[in-house]
Amino acid sequence: MTPNKDQLTLVVEFYRKCNPLGPPSDGEIVLELCQVGGEALAQTLIGMDLLQPLPDDASKFVLRKIPNFFWDVDDFLLKPERRFKPPRKFYVASQDWLSDESPSHELQLKYKRAIRLLELLREVSAHEDTAGNDLKLVILHKEKLVVGSEYNLLEMQELDGLEEFDKEYVNSDTHQEKKRDILKTVLVEMYSGKKSIQVGRLIDDFNEILSRLSHGYDLFVHDFSFSKIKSEVERDKLEFTTRLNKVFSDIQNQLLAVPAALLLVGSQMEKPELAELQLGNLAIWLGAVIFFVLMELLIRNQRNTLQAVKGEVDLQRTIFKEDHVAVYGKFKNIYRELDDRFNHQCKLLWFLRGLVGAVLGFTTGMLVWYSSGTAGYAFIAAIILTIFPILLALLINDFFQKTKSDD
């Protein structure tokens, strides 16, 4: 009928005009012709001894078992060598998949990519075992990992990154051996503790493998190992933490003046018999004001030092993130801890400012009490002068922050 067509093509054409009446039995399938125009094709196949009509129904035929005609994907991949070595031409009936048909069936691309992935893994494997017409690849890199050839063709992903995997890593024009070592490291680390896996598992994890390859190569390009980066970041963390802590420790001696000032006020201020302003009490109060001004300047200076250190931390964080974006996420906590230390030191300075304000408030309260003889006025004055330095500092900080933002 059509001498230029091979047996498989003729069988597929006839099969597509029929309905199968159940799964195959001993490799043979019972078909019912359901489309017009299939009779002549049936006679051709009967003449080739590929088709046998049923005696009780002229529309039903038994399709004999022929090479490379498979009922389903499981039947097709049952023979191990077909997982990595495709037949020249084949047909999978349940999926209506003819291998050389154009346009290609969606499974054809998946099948080719699965085979290509196995070919690429063969190139980086240390040894391959083809016993029993199967394929097992041995990956050696500190540990041994055996990769088998089984995969689920129907459920596997498209492997869209396979071309990148091939050209950028396995057969790269630059650093090819190093990239292959990185690939073996990634595989051994990802499946650590497993002696063997199937290539289907690699297909499921393919995007993660590509991501780890990219990260590993990024470290190599920057001539850094993870441990080296970690040691440098830890060293910088220690240095910055020390500098942040030093901001407060540098003024510890001056802090002793706070209780001394309270002791001075409590012991030296005198309450006159008649409520009046005494020169001695006023001198002590002026001393407290000068003490407050000096301490405020000292606190403000230490605050600026803290801000300078924080600026260096932020700058280093930005540079590190740009240079080592692949591993930055693993070091976020270190920079977060430095931020927490900065905030803690800032709170200590605000607490110190509150203590100094309390000394000024206490001194003012005693002066007003001794001068007016009214405890209520003294209490109000003490509250105002205690809160005043804190409010003043907040207003000044807000003013300078707005000025910087305007610039």
pLDDT, tens digit (0-9, with 9 covering 90-100), for 277-315: 667 777 877 877 787 788 778 888 888 888 888 899 898
Residues in contact with 193: Cβ distance below 8 Å, sequence separation at least 6, in sequence order = none
Quick one: pLDDT at residue 407? 44
pLDDT of residue 229: 77
Using alpha carbons, list the distances in angstroms from residue 242 to 35, 220, 262, 338, 345.
87, 32, 31, 10, 12
129 DSSP assignment: E
pLDDT, residue 400, reads 44
Tell me how far apart the alpha carbons of residues 161 and 170 are, in angstroms, rounded to a whole number.
Answer: 13
Q: Which of 198, 191, 114, 118 is nearest to 157 (CA)?
A: 114
Are 200 and 121 contacting, i.e. CB atoms less than 8 angstroms apart? no
The mean pLDDT values, 10 residues at a time, for the chain of 407 residues are 75 94 90 88 92 90 93 93 94 95 92 95 93 92 91 89 92 90 91 91 94 85 67 85 81 67 63 64 77 80 87 88 78 88 86 77 73 62 62 55 44
* Closest C-alpha to 169, from 156, 182, 179, 159: 179
The two beta strands, 127-129 and 97-98, are unpaired
pLDDT tens digit sequence for 321-366: 887 776 778 788 888 898 998 898 888 888 887 777 777 777 777 7
